[in-house]
Amino acid sequence: MHCPSVHIADTVVQCDQTYPACQRCLSRGETCPGVAATADAMFRHQVANPSDKSAAKRSTSKHEPATPASSPSQEITIIPRPDLESKIREHQKPPAAFAGKIDDLVEPPDLPQTLHPSLENVAEFHFFSKIVTSIGWLSYIPDVYSSSPEQSPLRKLVGAASLSVLAKQRKDASLFVTARNANGMALRALHNAIGDQGQYLQDDVLFAVGLCRITCILQGDPGTTARTHSVGLQKLLQQRLRISDSSEPTDAILELIRSAKAELPILLLHNTRDDIALQGDSDDDSFWDCSGICQCEKRIALLCSDVGDVLRKFHSTAQPAHFDVCTTLTQALDLDARLVSWTGGLAPIAWSQHLEHAIRSGLWPSRPGYFSDMQVATFWTHLQAARILLLECIVSMAVELIRQGESYNYAKLDVDGILSKAITTIDVMAYWICFCIPVHLYSVGKEEELMLDSPNGVAGAAGIVWPLQVVLSSVSAKDQYKDQARETLEKLRVEYGIGQARTTLENCHHLGHWSTLP
C-alpha cells in the first residue's frame, strides 16, 4: 500500500515509497500517520524525485509554505529541502555527560531526522534543539528500549513535543500535522518496545504522559489529537499492568491491587509522623489554610505519611497485615476528606509554591532540566494517585465488611452509604485528573509569552476505574451498588473517554484497554 499522494504545485506525484503501516491504518479507518506528513518521508520523496525540485521552488517561497490543494491531513505541500547537513556538522558538539544545566545538554544525534523542511537556518536549528534537550530527560532514557539509543521511542516523543512547540511559535498548521503524526508513531514504537523488552520505568510513562499533554495543549485540539494520544497511553498502561489470564475476576482484581504497590509515590512510604516537626495546632483548620503562613511542606509530609500508613496496612509487602478494619476505614475517610479540601480548590500558582516548598524540604526530588510546570503536573498527579489508592482501599474495606454481613451501621459506620458515596466520588475524580492536570502555563521561549491551558482531556487516569472494578467483582456487594458502578463506568466512557463498557470478567482482564470517545 502506498502512502497518500503529494501535491507539488498543480502536479500530483505518487510517492514511490511503500509503507506496511498504511494497510493497518486504512483497515482501522485512520489516516496513515506517517508517511506523507513526516519530514523524513518528504526528504526521501525529494531525493527520489529530483526533477520535481524546480516545480517545488516555483510553487513555494523561501519563508512561506505553499497552500496545499486540499486538506493537510491527506496531502502536504513539498518544500525544497534545505542544506542542513553541512550546517549541523559544522555546529555539532561532541557527546558529553549530563551536567544538570540546560545549556550543557548536547543535541541528540538523531535530531536531523526529525527536522521539518521549513527550518532554514542554524539559529532556528539551535532553538529547536534547545527545546528538545531542555526537557532534560535524554540522559535518563535507558538503552533497554532500543538496540540503537538514537532510535529510542522516547527520543522520538521528545522530538514530537518539540515540533509542537515550534509549530506553536511559527503558527504552522502543517507542522502541527507533522508533530501529531510523529507523536502517534513514537507512542506505538514505545508500546512495542515495552512489549518486546518486558520492562520499563515508571518515570518514563509519566514522561510520555507529560509530553503528550504538552502536545495537546500546544495544538489546542481537544478532539482528534487528545484521543490519538490517549489511545497510545492507554495501551502503555495496559502493558504496564500485565494482567494475567485468570479465570476468576477476583484474582485479576487482586493482581491489580498488588501491582498498585509498585505505583505508590516514594513520598508515601518514607515519612512518618515521628519524622515531621509539627506545630501544636497541626490538626486545626488553620494548618490547612494556605492563605496565612504557608506550611506546605509539613502539610505534604503529614498527608503522605498518614496515607502511606493506611496503604502499608492494606497493601502489605509480605503477609496481609492484621489491622482493625473499622478504625482504618475511619482514618481513610478522614484522610480522603483532607485531600479533597486541600487539593481540590488550589490555583495553579499555588501548586508551584507547594512544589518549591516540597523540593526545598527534601520531600520531593528536583529533576535538573525538567520543566517546572511538568514537575508541578507530576507532583499533583502523584497526590491524586494517592487519593485513588486511598479510595480503592475505602471501597475494598467497605466491600469486605459487607461480605462479613456487618454492613448495617457497623461500629457506627454507615458502610453502605460509604460505598455509595465512594462510587459517586469517582465522577469528580475523573474531572480533576483528566481535565485539570495543572500544566496551566507553558513558556515557548520568551518568559512573557505564556499559553493558558484549555481542558484537553488526557486519559492518564487508569486507576480511576479500579474501585469500580472492586465493586463489580465482589460477590457480596449489593446489586444496587454494582448497578451504580456500571452506570459510573458508562458515564466515564461517554463523557471522558475512560473505560470500556464490558462484562465484569472482561473488565478485569482488559482494564486499561480503553476505547476512544464515541
Q: Are 166 and 195 in contact (CB under 8 A)?
A: no
According to the model, what pLDDT value does residue 383 have?
Answer: 60
Q: Are 257 and 317 in contact (CB under 8 A)?
A: no
Sign of CA dihedral 387, 500, 158, 189: positive
According to the model, what pLDDT value does residue 26 have?
Answer: 44
Total H helices, total E strands in the chain = 20, 4
Dist. CA 70–CA 338, nearest whole Å: 54
Dist. CA 264–CA 255, nearest whole Å: 15
**What backbone phi and psi angles, to 5 degrees, belong to 168?**
-65, -45
Which three cell numbers, joined as nine digits, stand for 38?
A: 513526516
pLDDT tens-digit profile of 39-96? Answer: 333 333 333 444 444 444 444 443 343 333 333 333 333 334 444 444 444 444 433 3
Q: Are 66 and 60 in contact (CB under 8 A)?
A: yes
pLDDT tens-digit profile of 173-232? Answer: 776 677 667 666 766 665 565 544 444 444 344 444 444 444 444 444 444 444 444 444
Specify burial of residue 436 (Cβ count, 10 A radius: 0-12, 13-18, 19+).
middle
According to the model, what pLDDT value does residue 33 have?
Answer: 39
Going by pLDDT thresholds of 50, 70 and 90, the confidence category of residue 351 is low
Domains of the chain by residue range:
1-81, 83-242, 243-510
According to the model, what pLDDT value does residue 325 have?
Answer: 72
Q: How many residues does the chain have?
A: 518
H-helix or E-strand containing 124? helix 122-134
User: Is residue 266's pLDDT more than 50?
Assistant: no
Q: Are 422 and 398 in contact (CB under 8 A)?
A: yes
Tell me the sheet residues that pair with 429: none
User: Is residue 31's pLDDT more than 50?
Assistant: no
According to the model, what pLDDT value does residue 478 have?
Answer: 75
Dist. CA 150–CA 484, nearest whole Å: 49
- Give CB contacts under 8 A, 24+ apart, made by 442-448: 442/214, 442/217, 442/218, 442/371, 442/373, 444/165, 444/168, 444/169, 445/127, 445/131, 445/169
Distance (Å) of CA 329 to CA 15, 334, 383, 474: 64, 9, 19, 18
Taking Cα atoms as reference points, which of 39, 60, 36, 70 lies closest to residue 166? 39
Which one is predicted more confidently, 131 or 470? 470
Taking Cα atoms as reference points, which of 63, 70, 59 lies closest to residue 36? 70
Dist. CA 218–CA 161, nearest whole Å: 9
Q: Which of 138-147, 285-294, 331-340, 343-352 has the lowest mean pLDDT?
A: 138-147
Dist. CA 305–CA 276, nearest whole Å: 9
Q: Classify each residue of 185-195 as buried b or exposed e, where b means 16 or more C-beta atoms within 10 Å of its C-beta.
A: bbbbbbbebbe
Dist. CA 20–CA 26, nearest whole Å: 11
Dist. CA 483–CA 289, nearest whole Å: 38
Q: Which of 7-21, 240-254, 272-286 has the lowest mean pLDDT?
A: 240-254
The residues, any chain, with a CB within 8 Å of residue 108's CB and separated by 6 or more, are 129, 132, 133, 138, 150, 155, 158, 159
Taking Cα atoms as reference points, which of 468, 467, 382 lies closest to residue 433? 382
According to the model, what pLDDT value does residue 156 have?
Answer: 63
For the whole model, what pTM was predicted? 0.37
According to the model, what pLDDT value does residue 422 have?
Answer: 72
pLDDT tens-digit profile of 324-342? Answer: 777 777 777 887 777 766 6
Q: Are 249 and 504 in contact (CB under 8 A)?
A: yes
Q: For 384, how many CA atoms within 13 A lie in the half-sphere containing its CB? A: 25
Dist. CA 107–CA 130, nearest whole Å: 8
Dist. CA 429–CA 307, nearest whole Å: 17
